[in-house]
Structure 1
Amino acid sequence: MTILDQTHDAALRSWVPGADGHPDFPIQNLPLGVFSPAGGAPRAGIAIGDHILDLTALLATGLLQGEAARAAEAAGGGALNALLALGAGPRRALRAQASELLREGAAERDRIAPLLHEASACTLHLPARIGDYTDFYVGIHHAENIGKQFRPDNPLLPNYKHVPIGYHGRASSIRPSGTPVRRPRGQSKAPDAAAPSFGPSARLDLELELGVWIGPGNELGTPIPIGEAQDHIAGYCLLNDWSARDIQAWEYQPLGPFLAKNFASTISPWIVTPEALAPFRIAPAARPEGDPAPLPYLLDEADQGSGALDLSLDVLLVTPGLREAGLPPHRVSASNARHMYWTVGQMVAHHASGGCNLQPGDLLGTGTISGPDRTACGSLVEATLGGREPLRLASGEERRFLEDGDEIILRARGLREGFAPIGFGECRAVILGAVA
């Protein structure tokens, strides 16, 4: 597991205006991404406060040395796949040298200041070319909440506590935060209808997830041992895996999600590295008495000691009525990543256990991360009990599911006494009406 070092020091200050105390990107974070300055081509950058440090320009100064320079060189070309493939060593070296250059009192300040761009004037892109996307189902409270709506006496299927459940999703429709989402059309069948119909989804929903970026891959046919799984994780983001519940209910048997999930997924554009998240690692929640122990290929002492993350996760809803009245967003959920039943390491190890070859830039989703009560539901189908109990908003509006013009905002923060809080940046998108 990643160790703590001087880059995590809560007393560190940066000469970059607005970086100290920034809610997401203080100097203790330094996430990686791809951005375009006004009129410029996509390039790699590091977020610091309300600015972005141009990595390509920084490399050209000669201030980066050794493995850090190797990492910055690999980050060229408008996608970070080659950097992710290098693994933790070069990534950690880049973080350490960037921290030195950006901290208060750095002698190189005057050379680096011109390489900063105001984030508000830049366009953010997907940070890597996503070859494959797999969505898991490791949020046990979400699985129980959904299961209770169909099987009140037996909400979890027999395999849930033995195997990290997942399915292969669609990588081509993943978009960065801020990209609108078009309401999908599809086939659905109302319970009292004699036959299915085709049209816009009437039960459009969000899903609060973490995204996991794969770094170094594995050869086809060669599993990743659970004890080495963390070496293959390059970082994290927020993920909203939108779901059309009415389409999903009709199509998902016997092969699982299809059109109900492949129309769009939204991610936050910054890769928050495992190094930045080191202060927020915790042991997974103890399994309830009577639950099966993970099979040996999913069990590792280090992973059980600190393989989980303590991250607050929030879902906010902005509706046309709230917007017009000047009212703040409605909080749908306040959850935490600690509510995952399986660790990310177990997800990676299981994914590759049959010989599947993961590749740099692949994206894994955790599945919806809900907490144990109604205030921590990571989807509307849970928060409204399948639409039976709508959310009542300060604007006088009600919501069972998402309507056109609604906007969902996901946020995540790491908070631990003695360490600087860090965040992920927003993952947001507004819903547009279906194509006629």
Structure 2
Amino acid sequence: MKSTHTGSESKLSRIAFFMNPIDGRYEDLLKGNKKLNIIKDLTAGLIVAMVAIPLAMGFAMASGLRPEQGIVGGAVAGLLGALFGGSKYQVYGPTAAFIPVIGGLMATYDHSFLVLVSILAGGLLMICGVVKFGRIVTLVPHSIVVGFTIGISIVIAFSQLGEIFGFKEKIGYGLLRQIERTVKYLPDANWYAFALALITFALCKTLIKLSAFIPAPLIALGFGWLVSSTLLKNNGLILIEDKYGAIPTNFAVFTTPQLPALTVPVVYDIVYYVLAIFIVAAIESLLCSRMADRLANNTGTPYNPNKELWGQGIVNIITPLFNGFPHTGALARTAVNIKAGAVSPLSGIAKFTFKLLMAAFLATYLEQVPMACIGGVLLYVANGMVKRGEIKEVYSSRNPFHIILMIYTAAAVPLWGFMPAVLTAIMIFVIMVMLGWVKKPVIQDVRVSV
């Protein structure tokens, strides 16, 4: 009885710690010149907000949702993650890894079902944080993570073929179907849209290399808006407004979860999508937190994997209610945040404010952006997800089985979908460990406060 009582007290103290938004993550804000540190965080928040708006819109539309759902959801998730997450530097928002999961769900169900499964996944994330499952993610081998990332990049690139070629017809989901329909509709392609998509891609690639302070995607969308409203005004470009209507500036829209009539397929889908959201949110946010500490050369309080899971749970319970969808730690935006000089979660709080203010001001212009530009931005995202260094790292392990795992996962994600690919890859890995073909993974220790 005594040990049980102590365990309960430990869990309650852990929850109290997790619910405290003012923790050790703000330690660097108080070091040295406090005013300068605050300015650094506010500047980083502004830059990330400018980078995040076009990405959030693109990820939402690629997932079968409306552009404003990405803007609002990303802002709310950024605020909640900054308050309750486990990392000093991590930026939260919509990410590419969720596109096949949410896109598959929205092809069959409505947004209220997405809210339901996201809330259930969020609860599971919070429980895992309380029982200290944060370090378990390190058991997933690097080869599967790299393969998964490559697979997602393929999914994103092919999902945007319709926008890049300016098709009026939908090319749908599924790699083989997308290839088949692209070939079928190619004679009707709008080559102005194709050229604009490539220019958008090139602008993003070029500008981001010049400086982290340049919001390349937003500038690329601005260029697309300018060209489509002048030189290419009557050349059949499909605008965001044509596809989704006007972007509303009333962001206080709430969606309640709804449970459909329970049948065997519905129950299966609930379990499937809850697990899919849980796995993506847990793995991506924890990997992103770990990457952020390395990128920032953090020598102070390290990221707390258990608090991160708790924060992810809150993000994925509350964000969908604000007309949003599942979110997690965003690798590229976190890197921009660090390079722009952020020292604490204050930058994430600033991002929330700046993003909503800019979205309200720019809504009229954003809806006039060609869909081809959104395709170009997402093509840039897909291209950036494939890291040569990470692929070389897998090959340098000189273990052919890890190379096979990477290639298998990369091919399985676009061909069979997220969950079948990841679960079968993990099963294959377990079998390889049992047969002694690969080393048994070891849980990496992380210093945590509670």
TM-score by length of 2: 0.22
Where relative contact order (Cα < 8 A, 6+ residues apart) is larger, the structure is 2
| Structure with more strand by fraction | 1
| Structure with more helix by fraction | 2
